[in-house]
Structure 1
Amino acid sequence: MFKVKQIVTVLSAALFFVITVAFQHQENDVSTKAELGEKLFSDPILSRGKAISCASCHIPQFAFADTAAFSVGDKGTRVSRNSPALTNLSGRTEFFWDGRAASLEEQILGPLLAHDEMDLPVEQAVERLKQDTFYSAAFQKIFKTEVNQRNLLSAIASFERTLETTNTPYDRYLDGDEKAMSEQAVRGRILFIGKAGCATCHSGEDFTADRFKNIGLFNGKELTDPGRFKVTKDSAHIGLFKVPGLRNVAVTAPYMHNAMFKTLKEVVQYYNTPDKFVSNSIKRDLSLGTSLNLSDGEVDDIVAFLEALTDDRFKKK
């Protein structure tokens, strides 16, 4: 009887090992650039101290944004700007709040190299992946060559290009489902396009005109980030920041490059009466020169519309 129990125990352990290995193989098996990029996106192997991954600051359940005002880097230091969402970026032409990157591949290099973020020279990142059994094999399988800077960036960018979201109440409303949005959200859409003038900057499928605007969040005193000026050194660009897309915006709080607004309602209230929030703005866009004269109810209507831009995959978050 004792030997039978020993045999059963050994067989059970062996079966558990086989199942575990099979599960791990299935979990780690990748067959496309996007799948490889997704794994890299969530792996802390790409930060100097292996303390954070891309997903640490771009959290998947929050439309790949951060719920903290300022993300924490590999060494515990805080970044200087709020981490923007990464959904619906495949059609964008500039990246980061100041537009300093011209492609997703170039954008990926930013946090990888930044001292306060992942702080890992790309040469070291490549060498780490070459030394890793899984990644070494995966890159050979997908790219037919060993890991290098180009295919590392290509893999992560390929994953980010899959983060397109169109399954929202708003999209279903446009497709003819008149009940997809609430009456309040429908009113908000009319205000967004008309009286509030939001669509001037937030237009197109992803609600961005792909431009830079000075909305008044620079006064050289309390608000000292000059935005795009840091990149171009052109005085005309002082206070300019990239106009973000608004899809999934309801789950990406806090808002603005400096995270100064905690709710969408605060954001709309700011646009309604900017002088009540920031005094002595420098070079604020003329379109924000006067109040929009929105009532409290109209502010709430616009917020309801913005909430209707949330993809179903994020609506419970």
Structure 2
Amino acid sequence: MEKIRKTFVILLTLCLFTTVVGFQMQDKEVDTKEDLGERLFFDPILSKGQAISCASCHIPAFAFADTAAFSIGDKGTKLPRNSPALTNLSGRTDFFWDGRSGSLEDQVLGPLAAHDEMDLPIEQAVERLKKNDFYSAAFQKIFKAEVNARNLQKAIASFERTLETTNTPYDRFLDGNEDALTPAAKRGRILFIGKANCATCHSGEDFTADRFKNIGLFNGAELADAGRFTITKDSSHIGLFKVPGLRNVAVTAPYMHNAMFKTLKEVVSYYNTPDKFVSNSINRDLSLGASLNLTDPEMNDIVAFLEALTDDRFINK
């Protein structure tokens, strides 16, 4: 009975969220693919029971991630992986923790069709939108065609490509403002590049090398998530997960695919001494074979640098 009550409360909260945001979105003009995609992103019409929208699991105030360890699907089901952030994805090459989609357009199909997520296969979503006067007219206006699967994917993906963020203390520092970073963040940047060796995996403008890594969270325990192996069935891929970008990471807790860590300090502590957190790791990357020997103040400095990657739009949320 208690489990049923909690599920009901969660569903009610999600419904209230999507309803309020949905009403707000109705006031906006829809003139472009990006506008249409934004409207669809916030509209629960794309879930079977119309209980959730994309924004239910990817909350704007938190860099389009979820503050819950595991998001709740249309039927009140708890999902198996933490919802990743959706900012700064326009240059990415693989999507989802296991990389099962190769484009933002293909990525749209995953949550739509998944039974425990939105549970509305693309064909059913298209038919539902065709019967909706607003969306039927909007697709004709923007795409010069009736609603179809490809244009639905294009619209949502176009909106997601607008979620780029570069207005951060770190970016201002790179532009020549020496005071944009605190002394701790400056020290953390040097540690990030050097002693901590974070930049090996988190490189480039968005701090990801667009690769898959096994950081040691998989130990073969019952119900443990084998990551990319579940897609490729290649034994060398056991425990590999997509390396996420780090922009806005300070507002996207909890962390890792399994939401194992609640704070950035815990994440840095794990990389410092992984064996203290997970024993008997299988196929862990060789770069994580030994302690980084970071001191507590050094770990705090790295956290300060990571916090400086937060776009101004999220800082006061």
TM-score, normalisation: structure 2: 0.91
CA distance in 1, matches of 2:231, 2:24: 44
CA distance in 2, matches of 1:88, 1:226: 26
CA distance in 1, matches of 2:295, 2:314: 29
Letter in 2 for 1:234: D
CA distance in 1, matches of 2:292, 2:53: 41
Runs ≥4 residues deviating over 4 A: 23-26
Deviation, 1:26, is 7.8
Structure 2 residue matching 1:284: 3-state secondary structure: coil
Corresponding position of 2:190: 190
Deviation, 1:313, is 0.2
Deviation, 1:29, is 2.6
CA distance in 1, matches of 2:139, 2:283: 49
Deviation, 1:28, is 4.4
CA distance in 1, matches of 2:304, 2:25: 45
Structure 2 residue matching 1:27: 3-state secondary structure: coil
Is the contact between residue 218 and residue 224 of structure 1 (CA under 8 Å) also seen in structure 2? yes
Corresponding position of 1:218: 218
Is the contact between residue 213 and residue 242 of structure 1 (CA under 8 Å) also seen in structure 2? yes
Structure 2 residue matching 1:283: 3-state secondary structure: coil
TM-score, normalisation: structure 1: 0.91
CA distance in 2, matches of 1:49, 1:65: 22
Corresponding position of 2:15: none
* Number of corresponding residues: 295
Q: Percent identity?
A: 82
1:194-222 Cα offsets, whole Å, 9 max, x none, are: 00000000000000000000000000116
1:153-190 Cα offsets, whole Å, 9 max, x none, are: 00000000000000000000000000001000000000
Is the contact between residue 25 and residue 42 of structure 2 (CA under 8 Å) also seen in structure 1? no
Larger gyration radius, structure 1 or structure 2 = 1
RMSD of aligned residue pairs (Cα, Å):
1.3
The reply on whether 1:204 has 2:197 as its aligned counterpart is no
Corresponding position of 1:17: none
Corresponding position of 1:10: none
1:9-33 Cα offsets, whole Å, 9 max, x none, are: xxxxxxxxxxxxxx99982431000
Corresponding position of 2:4: none
Deviation, 1:121, is 1.5
Is the contact between residue 196 and residue 292 of structure 1 (CA under 8 Å) also seen in structure 2? yes
Is the contact between residue 273 and residue 290 of structure 1 (CA under 8 Å) also seen in structure 2? yes
Aligned positions of 1:1-317 closer than 5 A: 27-221=27-221, 224-317=224-317
- Which ranges of structure 1 fall in alignment gaps of 5 or more residues? 1-22
CA distance in 2, matches of 1:316, 1:286: 39
